[in-house]
Structure formats: C-alpha cells, structure tokens
Amino acid sequence: MDKFRIEGGHPLQGEIPVSGAKNSALPALAACLLTSEPVKLRRIPPVRDVRTMEQLLEYSGAQLEREDGALTVRAAKLDRPEAPYDLVKTMRASSLVLGPLVARTGRARVSMPGGCAIGARPINLHVAALEQLGARIEQSHGYVEARAEDGLRGALVHFDRITVTGTEDLLMAAVLARGETVIRNAAREPEVQDLAALLNEMGARIEGAGTSTIRVEGVASLHGADHAIIADRIEAGTFLIAGAITGGDLVVTGCDPDHVDALVVKLRQAGADVAEISPGALRVRSSGRPRPVDITTEEFPGFATDLQAQYMALMTLATGISFITETIFENRFMHTQELARMGANIRVEGRQAIVAGVPELTGAQVIASDLRASASLVLAGLVARGQTMIDRVYHIDRGYEKIEEKLARAGARIERVS
C-alpha cells in the first residue's frame, strides 16, 4: 500500500496545471450510455474513480478507445445494463448510470453506492425522481433494480433537498423521456452545467442548467458528440490553499476562476494575495500566519464541502480562532483527529469545528480517511516541521491526478513510497 513521505517547510513556487474535473467526467461517461453513436470526451483525468467508471461502461457492453489524451466511448450495444458490487464498491458515483441505463434499455440493476465514509448520500432521492418519470423500482440485497419497458415519461420533479448526483441522474433519464420534465430545486454546480452542455451537444433539449429550475424536452434519440470536460475546481482550490499555507508564490493554471470565487474571497480575507494574471491562471502569494476566517459549506455557489478539509488545514495555523461549519455531510470531520496528531488544536461540536490556530505544525504519521481528508493532510505536511508520512493514499488517487508529481515540480519535498 502506497504512502506519501513529505518534508515540510518549502514554499511552493512556479506553476501547477489543473486537470479535468473528476466530478464532471463521471456523469459525462455515464451520459455516453444514452446513444449508440461514438462520443469523444477530452480532458478526462486518469484518476481511480474515472477508471472504475470506464470499467463499468465496458462491463455494460461499451467499447472504449484512448487516443491523444481523449477517450471515445461507443455504446452501440448494451448487453448487461447493470453495475455489480465488486466493480463499484469503491465509488460513490455508481448511481449515475441508473438513469441513463433505464432510459436507454428499459432496465437497470445498480449496486448501492460505496466510496468515502463521509456520511450518507441517500439514493432514495434518485429513486423517487425516477419513479415520477414512470420507472418501477425495487431495492433488495444491496441493489436497486429499475424497469421501464415502455419508456419514461416527462414529469414535474421537486427535490426535497439539493442533490448533485440526483440532478445529474434525473437529467440523463429525462432527455429520452416522452414530453417535458421540469426539475425544481436542482443543483447549480458547474458539473451539472457541463453535463447539460454535453447532452445538448448530443441532441438533447435542456434549458436552465445552472439555475434551480431545469426544463428538459425529451427527444427520441441522441447522437454522438465531441466534448471537453471542464477544469477541476476542487483540485484548483486545493492548489490555491497549498500556495497560501506554504507562504509561496504559486500560479494555478487551466482553471475557471468563477468556479472558485467563494474560496478566493476567504483566502483574501485570511491575508493571501490572489489575482487572475491571465485567462484561467490564478496567482496566490502569502507570507506569515493567516488571519482566522470562518466558513460554512453550502451548495454552489457557496463554499464547497469538498474544500472544507483543505481550508481547515490552513486555519490550523491562523492567528486566532475560526469556526468551520459543515452543512452538507454529517461525518466530514474525520481529518481533525489526524491534524491533531500534527499539533493542531481543534474541537468538534456537532457539525461545527472550532479551530484555534497554533504557531506551527509538526510532522507525524497519519492516516487518510477519505479523498478530501487526505488532501488536507498533504497540505498540512507541506508546512509542518519535519517529516510527515501519510498512509492509505489510495483515497487521494480517487480524485487527484498525480498530485505528488505536480506539487514536487513546484518545489514540494513529497514522494510516493510503497
């Protein structure tokens, strides 16, 4: 099992490029199941969750071809419209194939999602939405089975609470449903907008993506497309925090500044200098300890829950007390115990972490509990005095493309060891 060895205390300098968004690539790959024609996807990040989704598409009967950094999916025939447990047990996004499979083939059998232990992501929201489109759904033995032999029909769907994957799943089902589907309280994330853009390129009729109300006029079939995935805003945010926490002078390239606005505001309040120096390039500079700045995670365009752990690493060194409130997932403070091993002073009370900044962190042996928690430990290790060893880095491999190589090229003393 691989580990990261980090020698802290080296400010990051130079440039770090941002890869394509994992959370956009996964629904885009699932959308390829909606057509028999080839779909070419560019900027697909070769991270573990994406590889798992690719294997799932191949299991269902699709053919994949990689060439010049692009991936072409040909789902001409889907012999096995299912997602077995052994294949998707490490990935939360397995439910994304439920909608497109039942829309395209009239049936789907999908294992309940696995992945990070950061709290419940109930699939009941997906299920209830698809039932409103006419699917008959049963849940048993850890699987969700959906049937709609006569096809799906449009409906008005109001999500009880905002769900990104639920919005994406329903969107993919609705494009082939008869009539109009209206999705209210829809997720507004950039990844939802990117999926809608791809589907429209494939011949779908979607309006309102990026707002809380999305309208879909169903079509009889979709065709192929050539689409580039958006930049990974969580990776971009992680690197911006890395530049700030190490007191460096770092340029994060290939990102979309509009997608990290909420983080940039907080970094500036904490004392970092963040500026867009050219299209898609953000420069972050800082010196000294950050000022304490509170955050509350929210759905987009609010502060992303996927950046909460990384931001907490920054606040462990603040010159006072900060309050970090997590509203999306109920169990996303597991990294606090590992940060405490490095000298952080954090008290958790329900969904709020109270962080009293300390003058320095010290290297220690720590264990990554989930994808974003592992990123927070990497950031802490970059600035901690001495050596940090991070175990279970397979978590970080699920969502970051060669993060240790990117950081090392910017001056970090980090290496992967087996």
Q: 316 and 359 share a domain?
A: yes
Q: What is the mean pLDDT of the chain?
A: 94
Q: 381 and 317 share a domain?
A: yes
Q: 329 and 184 share a domain?
A: no
End-to-end CA distance of the chain: 6
Distance between CA atoms of residues 152 and 130, nearest Å: 9
The H or E element containing residue 241 is helix 233-245
Question: What was the pLDDT predicted at 118?
Answer: 35
DSSP 97: G
Q: Is 32 in the active site? A: no
Distance between CA atoms of residues 69 and 390, nearest Å: 30
Question: Residues 161-180: what's their mean pLDDT?
Answer: 96
Question: What was the pLDDT predicted at 116?
Answer: 41
pLDDT of 172 higher than 90: yes
Q: 375 and 299 share a domain?
A: yes
Of 18, 56, 73, 116, catalytic:
116
Span 20-59, pLDDT tens digits? 999 999 999 999 999 999 999 999 999 988 999 999 999 9
Q: 32 and 8 share a domain?
A: no
Q: Which of 201, 228, 255 is the last residue of a domain?
A: 228
Q: 195 and 294 share a domain?
A: no
Supply the CATH number for residue 302's domain: 3.65.10.10
Q: 326 and 216 share a domain?
A: no
Higher per-residue confidence, 119 vs 396: 396
pLDDT of 119 higher than 70: no
Q: Which of 228, 256, 285 is the last residue of a domain?
A: 228
126 confidence band (pLDDT: 50, 70, 90)? confident
12: Cα separation from own chain's centroid: 24
Q: 271 and 383 share a domain?
A: yes
Neighbours of 209 (CB within 10 A): 25
Span 402-416, pLDDT tens digits? 999 999 999 999 999
Query: 280, 256 in Cβ contact below 8 A?
Result: yes
Span 257-276, pLDDT tens digits? 999 999 999 999 999 999 99
Q: Give the domain range for residue 194.
A: 22-228
DSSP 282: E
122 confidence band (pLDDT: 50, 70, 90)? low
Q: 126 and 187 share a domain?
A: yes
258 Cβ contact partners less than 8 Å away, ≥ 6 residues apart: none
Span 329-383, pLDDT tens digits? 776 788 999 999 999 999 999 999 999 999 999 999 999 888 888 999 999 999 9
Question: Residues 80-91: what's their mean pLDDT?
Answer: 84
The H or E element containing residue 27 is helix 22-31
Strand order of the β-sheet with 365-367 is 365-367, 387-391, 3-7, 413-417
Span 185-244, pLDDT tens digits? 999 999 999 999 999 999 999 999 999 999 999 999 999 999 999 999 999 999 999 999
How many independent structural domains does the chain possess? 2
Q: Which of 203, 228, 253 is the last residue of a domain?
A: 228
Query: 353, 316 in Cβ contact below 8 A?
Result: no
Distance between CA atoms of residues 13 and 412, nearest Å: 9
Question: What was the pLDDT predicted at 114?
Answer: 54
Q: 11 and 42 share a domain?
A: no
Q: 124 and 268 share a domain?
A: no
User: Does pTM surpass 0.85?
Assistant: yes
Q: 144 and 187 share a domain?
A: yes
